Structure formats: C-alpha cells, structure tokens
C-alpha cells in the first residue's frame, strides 16, 4: 500500500491536488458512501467531482453488470414474467478501497497532463476547454458513441474508455476542475449537457455529441440551437450547475437497471439517500429533474415521513416555473404519470395538458427532440386511449367522460402538440396520431363537449380591449365623482365664510342636480358623430346630426297639432326608433345592425314589416345602451362563468380549424382526421410560398366539401366562411354538377 500524507489545508475528504484521505476508506456500505458525500458537500473546499464520480461509478457497475446482471437475467427467466420487477442483488455490496480509487484518480491526472494548468487568477478559455474535450474524446473506444446504460461516470471511462454523451460533458467539467479552472460549470437540459464558463457563466461551448449519430459538435456555441427553437436547449433556460448541483447531476445519472425489466434495489437505495442528502442541503431547489426523480423513488419506497412523493412532484414544477419560466416539460410528465398510476385521471389529464403548454414554446426538430417526442407519443397513443377504454367500459356519473374539464384538457394537450409542429420542417401528427385523437374525442357526448367554451387569440384581444375601455370609463366616472365632491366641499366652505347658509343651500342643491347631468351629457357626446350618415350615403336630409334631430323634433311638434291621439302614438314610436337607430350607428355597436340605415329599410319594406323592423331595432338598441352603462361592467364576473363552464383558448392553426367540428352535435371523424394530418404538409408550403392567408381557406374548403358529401350535419361546416372566398381560386375540391342515376 502506498503512503499518503495529508495536506495541512486539505478538507476531511479531498484537497483537489491528487491527495485523497485514506482514513475515509474502505467504504463497505451505503451509509459509508453517504457519509463520504456529506463530508464533501459540507467542507469549505468544493467537492471533488472526479473522486465522487469514480466511487459511485464503481459501485453501480459492480452491482448492475457482470455477475450481477447474469444473476438478474436468470432470476427473471425463472419468474417467467415480462413485467417490471425490482429485485435484490445476489452480489454483495462492493468494498471500495483506497488503492483502487487512488490508482484511477492518478490515471485521470496523467491523461490530463498534456493540458497546461492555469496561472493564478486565470479563467478558462474556449481553446482550453476544447483541448480537454479533445483529450477525453480521442481516448474513447469508437464503438462507445451510443447512449448505453452505465457509461455516464468516470469509472467507466478510466476502466474501459467508454462514455456516453453526458459522461463526456461530466468528464470535461471534472477535468477542468482538476486542472484548476474553477469557472467551468456543467449545464444540463432535459436531454443534453454542455459547458459554460467565464466570470458570469454566460459563454457556452459544446463538448459532446447528442443522439444516435456521432456528429462532433465540440467547440461550437449553443446559440444556434437556442435560435432554432429546439427543446433540446430549453430556450437557453437550462440548469447551470454550481458544484453542489454538479454532485446532484452525478447522483441523478446513476442507472439502477439490472436488465430490461429489473432494477437493482441497492443502487436505487444509494441514489435515494444521496438525493435526500442533497435535498436537505438545498442543492435540488433549482434542479427540477432531480426533484422529479426523487419523487419517483419515494413512490416506490417511501423513506421520508413528512414529505410525500406528490409534494416532490409539485416542488419540481414550482422550481421550473420560478427559476426557468416554465420551460421544462418533464416535471409535468412526472406528475401526470404519477396521477395516472393512482387512477386519478382528471389530475393526470390536467398535468399532461400543462406539459403540452410547455412544449408549444418550442419548434419541433426531428433529430434533437426524439426523446420528448417518444414521451408525448406514448401519452397520446398508449396512456390516454387506455384510460378512455377503461372509463367507457362502465356507466358512471363520476366518469371522466362526463366531465367537460377533462375534454378541455384533452383539447389543450393536442393544441400544444399542434403548435409545437408549426414552423417545423418535419410534420408530427401523421395518421398514427390522428386515429387515437378521433377515437378519444368520440368518447365524449355532445352535451359534455358543448359545455366547453372555446376561444381564439383574436377573441382574447377583443376582450382585453373592451376591459381596457371599461376601466377607462370607470376611471373617468370616478374622477368626475371626485371633482363633484370637491366642488361641493368648496361651496360649503365658502358658505361658512360668508354666513349665507340659506342662499348657498339652494345653490348646492342646484349644483348637485346639474353637475352630474352635465358630465353625463359630455361623456355621451364624445361617442357621437357630427355628420349625418343619411346625408353622406343618400344625399338627403340635413348634413349635420344636430340639424337632423331638430328637424325631427319640429316635424313631431307639427304632427302632434294636426293628427289624433293614435297617430301621435305611432309618430312618437317611429321617432324613438329613428333616434335609437341613430344612436346605435353613431355609438359603434354590433356590426350586424350597421348594414342599412332605418330610413332605407323603411322604404324597401312594407309598413307592417317596417314596424316589425323598428321594434327589433328599438329592442336591440335598448340592450346595447343597457350593456354600455358602467354599472353593467361591474356586474360582470368572468370567474363565475369559468367555474360553471371550462374555457380554453386554442392557439394552433389545426385546432382553430377544428373548433366547429369539435363542438358539433354529430362528429365528422373523417373531416377531423383530414384537418389533423393534411395541414401539417400544407403549413410547409405556406412558409415556402409566402401565401399565409390562402392556405387555411383552402383546407377549410376541402373539409367543408367532404363534410357535405358525407352528410356530416353541423360537423362539416368548419371554416365555411373561408370556403366561399377560396372556392373560385384555390379550392382543391371544386364543386361539380350532380349526376343523375341514369348517367
């Protein structure tokens, strides 16, 4: 055994100068390994990533490969089952000796000796990091350029020259730390890793590959990946690790699998205890993936009394929202799958919809987003159809098929995936997605689907504009009230000074009655137009609105003197209708009442029809005037409506086109399937040709034509308004005359 001396400034664990404390070894149990990590994390000197990765890597490979893996396969074959089994290990816990760890540690130092060490207070450069990455890259076995199990630690590299893509990034970071470049940090997304460096850790560099291919990205900046909108880089909101979080990354990377269907209990227990240690020390609060993994381990075997796995899943989501602007998808998938395993399907659908709300922030990249594509495909084509099949097997009032909110979350899930597909060069929703989508939608009856209020972004903009106007009107009314109160107080003060209480009391009463009326008249006059619309359109009548009102008043006065009481009543009713119609056209009400003026309608129709029209105009104008009052705005409570009926907003072009089809009494499944699959191809042509406004109309016209031929009742009318404009130019389903049976 080699003699080891301890440096005077060394920590109880390591000194980052090649000298390892021999008193900490051997490690014979899980508790010994946990104590080693605790000393490293609580020491004033930062933890040595190389030492910790070698230790846990040796334990992992000893318990999951070789004899342990063969014994697990034999036991699995004896059970004869294909289900997931977590079993104990026939191999005893490996003893970690000082000689083994010190020898591998010295080997890593020798490999990195070709790289120059930094001068005092010198930070790493792109060239230095690239050189460290080159040294590790060139020493790998070429057949290891694939992501296989148990290749993510430094023990695998130092004992067999094998690393996966995460292992290369970890080895580069640990190598820079061992050389003395303390500003180099590991950055982790949900399926990739790279390195950041510099004083503020804003510079980035690729040090590994990603995916099935072995394309070399090393040395490149990640800005190109961020600009492409790929989920792989999380929009630049990846987890940038401190030293404690890098230790957490080592623990998260532990692979507990023995075989395809069995896991090692000892490695799972070690990983769980190490994650709890990091949780208690506060190193997981900015690491959503680690919190989600700890939640899954606690679900299998609970070890903490006060914190449940459900709480850990919520903390993972809160971490993603608070520190990364809700750009992480996996915390929501963790939660949704957890609720699904507990048969809490309503909560599961909501969590999956939240995951889709995150993925809509990105643009699908075929090669980079393969892992998250598999996760969402599994949810859409496996988990959700199984839930639907289970719930539709019996009739229960508490079934999720009788819950409109579940249907709304299902639409929100697919809307997020459709928006993820937009602007992508590769379509996502092929027929393999469309069939389960149609099947899932048909499970909900019309009375449930019709309860969902579907809105579009255009509707939200109009509502926001209306709310802003209402807020301005309320502020103006409040200002007017304040001004009136101030004037009243001033008059009272002057009355007290002049000792004229009786006279000022009369003036106060007069001002109370006149001030609000004057302000109301001024407010109403702001919305009126000066010119008369009838004079501008037809050339008749008075040019100004005031003259028209005066002429109408004089005509009414003369008719009162010459006609009997019945004619007076009829004339006054027609006058009120004209006046109300003028107010409607000047006030900017609904567009359906602004097609013709009341006088034109009266000339075109018979007297009985004109009276009926005038009555309708008067009723509609009264409703509009009543809704325009400020008091009506205060009575409107949107939260009360949202509690009664679920409200969702569809943002993707595909789901916008499905709005009418989804809420139809009779579902046209062929039209829905066509809309889901065809527009993904059409969207690429739109981006290439620059005819954004023409393509949706073409697709809507096609769906309308198919729906009408199949007799799809209301369901075939999606996009009928656009079909008329596109039929003459771009329609790919032109109308032809019907043939007789003989022809």
DSSP string, 265-325: HHHHHHHHHHHHHHHHTT-STT-HHHHHHHHHHHHHS---SS--HHHHHHHHHHHHHHHHT
709: its two tokens: 């031929």
Q: Name the residue among 244, 204, 192, 203 with its Cα closest to residue 49.
A: 244
Task: Check residue 722 and give its pLDDT.
Answer: 40
DSSP state of 380: I
d(CA 39, CA 11): 9
Task: Check residue 740 and give its pLDDT.
Answer: 39
**For the CA atoms of the chain, what is the radius of gyration?**
37
Beta-carbon count within 10 A of 699 CB? 25
Task: Check residue 17 and give its pLDDT.
Answer: 52
| 3 state DSSP class of 215 | coil
Give me the residues paired with residue 263 across strands: 86, 257
d(CA 133, CA 7): 30
For residues 374-392, one letter each, b for 16 or more C-beta atoms within 10 angstroms of the residue's C-beta and e for the rest, the string is ebbeebbeebbbebbeebe
Question: pTM value?
Answer: 0.69
Could you tell me which residues come within 8 angstroms of residue 59 by beta carbon, excluding any fewer than 6 positions away? Answer: 33, 93, 94, 96, 267, 270
DSSP state of 4: -
Alpha helices in 301-400 (DSSP H): 309-324, 330-341, 345-359, 370-378, 384-392
Low-confidence ranges of the chain (pLDDT < 70): 1-19, 68-90, 143-147, 211-216, 394-397, 460, 492-644, 678-743
d(CA 232, CA 225): 8
Give yes or no for a contact between 244 and 41, defined as CB atoms under 8 angstroms apart. Answer: yes
DSSP string, 42-111: HSSSPP-HHHHHHHHHHHHHHHHSTHHHHHHHHHHHHHT--S-EEE--SSPPPPB-HHHHHHHHHHHHHH
Give me the residues paired with residue 649 across strands: 455
Could you tell me which residues come within 8 angstroms of residue 334 by beta carbon, excluding any fewer than 6 positions away? Answer: 292, 295, 296, 313, 316
d(CA 433, CA 381): 7
Give yes or no for a contact between 731 and 701, defined as CB atoms under 8 angstroms apart. Answer: yes
Give yes or no for a contact between 47 and 17, defined as CB atoms under 8 angstroms apart. Answer: no
d(CA 348, CA 493): 67
d(CA 375, CA 391): 23
CA dist list (Å): 298 to 294, 307, 328, 376, 625: 6, 9, 21, 24, 61
453: its two tokens: 């209020």
d(CA 646, CA 641): 8
d(CA 126, CA 122): 13
Domain boundaries, the chain: 22-265, 357-479+640-680
d(CA 112, CA 435): 55
SS3 content of the chain, % helix, strand, coil (to 5): 65, 5, 30
Peptide bond between residue 26 and the one before it cis (omega within 30 degrees of 0): yes
Sign for the CA dihedral angle at 73, 78, 81, 86 comes to negative
524: its two tokens: 């109403």
Task: Check residue 457 and give its pLDDT.
Answer: 85
In the β-sheet with 262-264, what is the strand arrangement from edge to edge?
85-87, 262-264, 257-259
For residues 725-736, one letter each, b for 16 or more C-beta atoms within 10 angstroms of the residue's C-beta and e for the rest, the string is ebbeeebebeee
Angle at 321 between CA 319 and CA 326, to 5 degrees: 125
Give yes or no for a contact between 734 and 740, defined as CB atoms under 8 angstroms apart. Answer: no
Q: How buried is 484 (Cβ within 10 angstroms: 0-12 exposed, 13-18 middle, 19+ buried)?
A: middle
Sign for the CA dihedral angle at 302, 305, 309, 312 comes to negative
CA atoms within 13 A on the CB side of 354: 22
192: its two tokens: 């990739």
DSSP state of 658: T
Task: Check residue 272 and give its pLDDT.
Answer: 96
Task: Check residue 472 and give its pLDDT.
Answer: 82
d(CA 391, CA 143): 47
Q: Count each helix (H run) and each strand (E run) in the chain, helices first.
A: 33, 9
CA dist list (Å): 24 to 9, 55, 95, 101: 17, 12, 12, 11
| 3 state DSSP class of 20 | strand
CA dist list (Å): 134 to 179, 212, 719: 15, 20, 57
578: its two tokens: 């004209």
Give yes or no for a contact between 642 and 406, defined as CB atoms under 8 angstroms apart. Answer: no
């Amino acid at each position: 055994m080699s003699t080891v001396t301890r440096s005077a400034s060394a920590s109880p664990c390591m000194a980052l100068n090649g000298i390892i404390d021999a008193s900490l070894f051997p490690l014979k149990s899980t508790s010994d390994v946990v104590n080693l990590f605790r000393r490293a994390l609580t020491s004033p000197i930062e933890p040595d990533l190389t030492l910790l990765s070698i230790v846990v890597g040796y334990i992992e490979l000893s318990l999951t490969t070789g004899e342990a893996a063969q014994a697990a396969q034999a036991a699995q074959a004896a059970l004869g089952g294909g289900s997931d089994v977590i079993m104990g290990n026939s191999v005893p816990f490996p003893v970690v000796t000082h000689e083994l760890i010190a020898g591998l540690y010295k080997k890593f130092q020798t490999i990195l000796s070709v790289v120059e060490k930094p001068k005092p207070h010198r930070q790493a450069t792109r060239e230095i990091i690239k050189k460290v990455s080159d040294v590790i890259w060139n020493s790998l076995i070429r057949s290891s350029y694939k992501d296989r199990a148990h290749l993510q630690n430094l023990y695998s590299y130092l004992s067999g020259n094998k690393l996966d893509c995460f292992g290369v990034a970890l080895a580069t970071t640990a190598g820079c730390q061992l050389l003395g470049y303390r500003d180099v940090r590991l950055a982790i997304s949900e399926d990739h890793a790279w390195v950041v460096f510099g004083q503020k850790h804003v510079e980035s560099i690729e040090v590994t590959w990603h995916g099935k291919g072995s394309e070399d990205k090393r040395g490149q900046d990640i800005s190109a990946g961020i600009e492409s909108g790929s989920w792989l880089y999380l929009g630049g909101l990846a987890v940038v690790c401190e030293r404690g979080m890098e230790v957490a990354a080592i623990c998260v990377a532990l692979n507990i699998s023995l075989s395809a269907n069995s896991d090692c209990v000892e490695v799972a227990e070690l990983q769980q205890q190490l994650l709890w240690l990091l949780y208690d020390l506060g190193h997981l609060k900015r690491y959503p993936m680690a919190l989600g993994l700890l939640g899954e381990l606690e679900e299998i075997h609970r070890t903490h009394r006060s914190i449940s796995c459900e709480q850990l899943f919520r903390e993972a989501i809160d971490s993603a929202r608070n520190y990364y602007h809700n750009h992480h998808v996996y915390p929501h998938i963790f939660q949704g799958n957890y609720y699904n395993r507990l048969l809490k399907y309503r909560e599961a659908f909501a969590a999956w919809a939240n995951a889709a709300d995150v993925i809509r922030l990105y643009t699908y990249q075929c090669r980079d987003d393969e892992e998250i594509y598999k996760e969402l495909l599994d949810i859409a084509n496996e988990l959700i159809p199984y839930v639907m099949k289970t719930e539709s097997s019996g009739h229960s009032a508490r079934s999720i098929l009788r819950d409109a909110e579940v249907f709304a979350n299902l639409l929100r899930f697919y809307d997020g995936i459709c928006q993820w597909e937009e602007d992508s060069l590769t379509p996502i929703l092929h027929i393999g997605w469309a069939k389960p989508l149609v099947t899932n939608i048909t499970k909900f009856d019309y009375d449930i689907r019709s309860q969902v209020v579907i809105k579009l972004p255009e509707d939200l903009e109009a509502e926001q504009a209306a709310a802003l106007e209402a807020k301005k009107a309320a502020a103006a009314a409040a200002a007017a009230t304040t001004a009136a109160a101030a004037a009243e107080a001033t008059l009272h003060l002057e009355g007290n000074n002049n000792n004229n209480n009786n006279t000022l009391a009369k003036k106060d009463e007069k001002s109370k009655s006149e001030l609000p009326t004057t302000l109301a008249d001024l407010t109403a006059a702001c919305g009126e137009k000066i010119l008369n619309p009838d004079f501008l359109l037809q050339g008749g009548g008075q040019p100004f609105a005031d003259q028209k009102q005066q002429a109408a008043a004089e005509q009414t006065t003369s008719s009162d003197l010459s006609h009997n009481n019945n004619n007076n009543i009829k004339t006054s009713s027609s006058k009120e209708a004209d006046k109300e119609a003028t107010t409607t056209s000047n006030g900017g009400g609904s567009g359906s009442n602004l097609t013709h003026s009341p006088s034109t309608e009266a000339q075109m129709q018979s007297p009985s029809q004109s009276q009926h029209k005038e009555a309708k105009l008067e009723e509609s104008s009264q409703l509009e005037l009543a809704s325009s009052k400020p008091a009506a705005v205060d009575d409107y409570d949107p939260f009360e409506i949202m509690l009664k009926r679920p409200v969702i907003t569809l943002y993707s072009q595909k789901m916008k086109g499905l709005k009418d089809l989804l809420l139809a009494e009779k579902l046209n499944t062929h039209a829905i399937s066509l809309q889901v699959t065809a527009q993904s191809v059409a969207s690429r042509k739109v981006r290439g040709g620059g005819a954004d406004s023409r393509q949706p109309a073409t697709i809507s016209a096609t769906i309308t034509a198919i729906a009408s031929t199949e007799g799809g009742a209301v369901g075939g009318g999606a996009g009928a308004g656009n079909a008329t404009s596109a039929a003459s130019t771009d329609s790919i389903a032109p109308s032809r005359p019907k043939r007789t049976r003989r022809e």
